[in-house]
Structures are given as structure tokens and as C-alpha cells.
Amino acid sequence: MAQVLEFKLPDLGEGLTGAEIVRWLVEVGEVVAVDQPVVEVETAKAMVDVPCPYGGVVTARFGEEGAEVPVGAPLITVAVDGPADDDGRPAGEQRSATDGPRADGSRADDSRAQAPRSEGSGNVLVGYGTSEAPARRRRVRPGQSAPSAPATPAASTANGRAAAAGGRAPASLRARTAGTVDEPVPVISPLVRRLARQNGLDLREMAGSGPEGLILRADVEYALRAAGTQTGRDRTPTTEPHPRVPPTQAPAQAPSQAHAPAAGAPAAPEATRIPLKGIRGVMADKLSRSRTEIPDATCWVDADATELMRARDAMRRFAEERPQNPVTGGPKISVLALLARICTAALARFPELNSSVDMAAREVVRHPAVHLGFAAQTERGLVVPVVRDAHTRNAESLTAEFARLTEAARTGTLTPAELTGGTFTLNNYGVFGVDGSTPIINHPEAAMLGVGRIVPKPWVHEGELAVRQVVQLSLTFDHRVCDGGTAGGFLRYVADCVEQPAVLLRTL
């Protein structure tokens, strides 16, 4: 007999608590191999293909595309070859409390055989393995491609409901008692739950017309029509094979009726609610925590970046003239890479800003290496990839790493390790055409340097008024790690290097 195993969303690492289903890679009834990816999910860190550690026939999928799934929630069930116990259940299945009494009045035996240990899969994510088969929650339904256990009286009352073939469940089984309020509701689709919640329907009072009593969207819509919540539509004849809501539920529809527009009156526009989830949800939590915990301050200065831009152009021309030279040839040097190199030099002079605060120990933790984060705007939201050991890289190496991480951010392939562990952040908001900003520190770091756009402006140069390339620099810092003198010294050194890049030669 087939044994049905439940595969749950594993811990994907870095303390993530859930993920959003982006795309299902398998269909119900499809045969999957061990470690075959079955679903593509989006976490707060990256896009991940989740492999299934079992091989067999997919018997059920839990959740629709776009739904949020917490870690530990079931993703799919897979029917694999395995022994079955006396009543036709696969070995290892535990009868839940919702099974209740059988049709003949007898109680199910609580003693069940334990599941045999299976061979572990090789493609194991953080926090999940396959050393032991999990307890089965759903069994193979008749009519599917996978072999199923023979029907028993207990099997016909799964989740405390009976679904008559091709018709409605008996009224005696649709009625709920107070003792069964806490039973799980057989609903898979979050759309069905939301539709019922918005209209005040209690799904526990309904019996679904789907397989094993599954409540479908059509069941909820029929219940709404039966309760008179959809004005201007006739009631459906009672012979329609869908469950009805008891009369006691009719008052619950009053709020929905109260908001219904009068006949002929234009409907008032409703506010749009956008869930904070995925990357946007994580950034919202981090920024809120930063504002709550960090006593930040900001200072800024304008700098003449004309010489910096000339130096970059000189590097570009030098590389173009010697494209075959393995030393001088290479990619074009970006302005961001030059600013990053200036940042690492400044942090070497002012290490207080390359630190974090441990309030539990009441200590300032000064980091020996500079792991430089940089803000990158993507279609999925704002992300901050991290360049490891930026203090050891030159301008060419920084340019190449910025390009690689930016492309990975745009395609959603950044790994959690590439999004965490930063000690200082560089925010080039000038790409949005703005001059200044007061950046929010990327918690738990202690500072962030903001760079505005570089534009021609009137500037006094060598005692005369001239048009120069001017940029505004801003530094937001944690006042617990340093005073204003240190922050001002850091920012002044950065501005000096921007105005006179030769200053960097002293520390190279």
C-alpha cells in the first residue's frame, strides 16, 4: 500500500519565519523524484527553489501562488511505496482528535504503528532533513493516480464531515456542536478564507462539497447567496448541491449589507491595502527598529567632485588605450567604487564608525574588517547587498563586485549570506536625481554615508567663480559610538578625498 508523506516548508536559514509561494513547479498527480524542486518561494532574502526529500506521486498541494506560508506549514503530500496498517492507513499515520467517533459509535484505537525511518535525501536545507518520515495528515483520495487504502467508515468522516458522492452532506453532519469548535477547517485556498472573513461567515458551520469535505469558493459564494448578502440576485433553488449557512448566521451578514451602495448610487472607492511581506516587510521591521533603538544624528557637506570625475575619466581612457594589458586593462571604474574606496580609507582613520552596539552587554563592538553594504533598488524592493572585506579591494575589484551583486539583486538570486553581516553602508541616492537625504541607519550598523547627484553648479575655485561638478555628502551616525567631532572628521576626510583624489595616495 502507498504511504503518504507530508513535506513541510523547511527553515531556509538566517532566522526566516516564512516565505511566499511564487510558482508551483509540480502538479497534483505528477511523479516527483527525490530532491526534485517542487515550488519556488520568495523569502525576505532571496528566491529559492525548494526540493522535496521524497519521491513518489504528488497527492495534494497546500497554498496558492502568492500565499504566505510559515516555516513548518505543509507544502505538498507525496504518496510513496510503503506498508499500511490494519485499517488501511499508511504506517506511521496518527489519528487526529478530529477523527472523532466512528459511524458505528466506537472510538478509534489511539495506538498506531510508528512510521519506519526512511533514507535521508542529499539536498538538505537548513533545519530540515529526511531522517524520519513525518506523520501523515492527508491520505490519498480515491480516483487519484496513486494507490489508496480501501475506504472505511472512519475514512468517510475525515475532519468530522461527510461528503456524499455527487451531493450534499447530511444535515446531521453539517450541524456543529460546541465541543468541535476547535477542529481544523478543511480549507486550502486563502482566497476562500478571505471571502468568508470579509462577509462574516464562520467556516466551521459549513460542510464543503469538495473531496473529503473540502470547502470550495463555490460553497462560500452559494452560502452568501442563500443568506441574502448579494443584493439584486435571486436565491438559488434549494436543490443546488452546495452547503447552506444556518439561519442563525444571517445577522452576521449585516455589516456587508450596510456597506452595499444604494441602487443607482456610484460606489465609493475603497482604500487599497498592500501587505508588508517579503523584502518590504523585512525592511520595514529593520527601519522601524533602527528609528526606535538608535539615537542617530546627521551632518552633511557639499564637495567639489570635479577632480574625482576627471580621475575616473583618466582611468577609463587608460584602460581603453591598453585593452590587452592584463594589468591596466579591465572594466570601467564606477563612481560608486571610487566612493567605496574613499569610505574604506576613511574608516581606517575613524574606526569608531565601523562598529555596532551590544546593549545587552553595554559594549560598543568595533569590527576589524569592513563589510560594505550598498543600497540597491529592485522591483522586489530595497535590498542592501554586502561586499565582503571591502577594505582589501581596489577600485577594479570593487567595481566588479558591485556589478555582480547588483545583477543578482535584480534577478532575485542573492543569497542570505550576501544580504547580511554588513558593518557600514554606502547609499548612492543620487541615482534618483536628488541632492540630499537623511539616511536611516541599517541596523545594527552604526553609520551610513549618503551621496547625492553630481551636477554642475557655481563654485568658487582658486578664488574665482566657476562651474564645477558638485555633490552633497551626508553622514548619519549612531551617537552612542562617537561624538560629533569624530563624525565630522570622517565626513571632512571623505570630502577632501572627493575634491583631491591624490589624498588617497597617502594610504594606498
Q: Residue 431: what are its φ and ψ, rounded to 5°?
A: -65, -15
CA dihedral 479, 485, 489, 491 (to 10 degrees): 40
Q: Specify whether the CB–CB gap between 242 and 208 falls below 8 A.
A: no
* 468, containing H or E segment: strand 464-478
Cis ω for the linkage preceding 444 (within 30 of 0): yes
Short-list 88, 85, 34, CA closest to 56 = 34
CA 441 to mean position of chain CA atoms:
22
Q: Specify whether the CB–CB gap between 476 and 298 falls below 8 A.
A: yes
d(CA 494, CA 301): 10
Q: Can you give the C-alpha Rg of the chain in angstroms?
A: 31
d(CA 112, CA 92): 7
d(CA 124, CA 160): 36
Burial class of 248 by CB neighbour count within 10 A (0 to 12, 13 to 18, 19+): exposed
Q: How many residues does the chain have?
A: 508
d(CA 478, CA 296): 5
Determine the residue type at 306.
T
d(CA 193, CA 185): 10
Q: Specify whether the CB–CB gap between 48 and 57 falls below 8 A.
A: no
* Cell numbers representing residue 67 in the block: 500565499
d(CA 343, CA 337): 10
* 312, containing H or E segment: helix 306-321
For the question of residue 443 being annotated catalytic, the response is no
d(CA 499, CA 235): 78
Set 259, 443, 461, 479: catalytic member: 479
Q: Count Cα neighbours of 53 within 13 Å in the Cβ-side half-sphere.
A: 21
d(CA 28, CA 78): 9
Residues recognised as catalytic: 479
